[in-house]
């Protein structure tokens, strides 16, 4: 399949260009806030009918969420994916417009932000993490679609009928690994968590939804990494198959399992 002719720049006003990737971040935060507010308004979903904070507070938290994602994502990319380069060129660390963000770094950033914000509001930090886990799949979906539009993070060559010939991937069809992740981390994980929150009342067990998010994301990322090409400056870490994304997903997977076990043992959900 030929790569769809989609301009990575959504629109431009004079020299100022707005990319789909930036819009995906903004839309992810905006839609996440709207969905999160709907969850916070449903007191019956939460343990003891007490959400971590009021729905209106989520608008205030949005600023800290964006800050945590951007700072964490950038710092994570510098440390995990291109440390030597940025140590030799430290002035380029703030150059976000040149690309380079780490999901795992952004995850740490928003986790720190929600824990401190929830404590400040007098809520349960684990319930705050659950809220982030419930809405985070929206941003993941939009972000991976934006990766596809940018023609980046594509996969290895394939002869499958849905292989895509990317502009920067040579003249061979490749796995659209961005869309695989959008489907697994975005759509499938959203539906799983939606079932847990609204049918199984998982938000009544603080930490459960956050744990399921960690497990679901990690398994999806590890699986897709088998067909997604690693960053060129790192390559495979071992045996022509182990990637940095898989290594970084292992602690997230372990933390997710630990949260689920803790939540199930700590509360009976009533």
Going by the annotation, the residues of the binding site are: 144
* Measured CA angle at 259 (ends 258, 260), to 5 deg: 90
Contacts of 222 (CB under 8 A, 6+ apart): 245, 246, 249, 250, 253
Count the helix, strand and coil residues of the chain and give each as a percent rounded to the nearest 5: 65, 5, 30
Judged by DSSP in three states, 49 sits in helix
CA distances 165 to 19, 105, 134, 194, Å, are 22, 30, 34, 35
Contacts of 249 (CB under 8 A, 6+ apart): 104, 217, 218, 221, 222, 225
Judged by DSSP in three states, 181 sits in helix
CA distances 150 to 20, 234, 265, Å, are 8, 20, 44
Instruction: Look at strands 16-19 and 9-13 and give their pairing.
Output: antiparallel
Judged by DSSP in three states, 52 sits in coil
DSSP state of 93: T
Contacts of 122 (CB under 8 A, 6+ apart): 53
């Amino acid at each position: 399949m030929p790569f769809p002719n989609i301009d990575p720049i959504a629109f431009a006003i004079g020299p100022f260009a707005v990319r789909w990737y930036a819009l995906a971040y903004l839309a992810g935060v905006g839609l996440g806030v709207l969905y999160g507010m709907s969850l916070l308004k449903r007191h019956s979903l939460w343990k003891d009918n007490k959400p971590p904070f009021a729905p209106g507070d989520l608008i205030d938290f949005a600023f800290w969420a964006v800050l945590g994602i951007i700072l964490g994502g950038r710092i994570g990319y510098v440390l995990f994916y291109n440390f030597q380069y940025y140590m030799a060129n430290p002035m380029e660390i703030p150059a976000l417009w040149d690309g380079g963000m780490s999901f795992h770094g952004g995850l740490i950033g928003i986790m720190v932000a929600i824990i401190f914000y929830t404590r400040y509001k007098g809520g349960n930090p684990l319930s705050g993490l659950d809220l982030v886990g419930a809405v985070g799949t929206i941003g993941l979906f939009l972000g991976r679609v934006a990766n596809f539009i940018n023609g980046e993070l594509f996969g290895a060559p394939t002869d499958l009928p849905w292989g895509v010939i990317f502009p920067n991937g040579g003249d061979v069809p490749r796995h659209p690994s961005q869309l695989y992740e959008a489907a697994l981390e975005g759509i499938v994980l959203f539906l799983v968590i939606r079932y847990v929150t609204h049918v199984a009342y998982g938000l009544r067990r603080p930490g459960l939804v956050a744990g399921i998010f960690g497990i679901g994301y990690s398994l999806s990322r590890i699986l897709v990494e088998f067909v997604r090409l690693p960053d060129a400056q790192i390559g495979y870490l071992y045996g022509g198959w182990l990637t940095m994304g898989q290594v970084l997903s292992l602690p997230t997977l372990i933390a997710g399992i630990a949260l689920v076990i803790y939540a199930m043992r700590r509360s009976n959900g009533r």
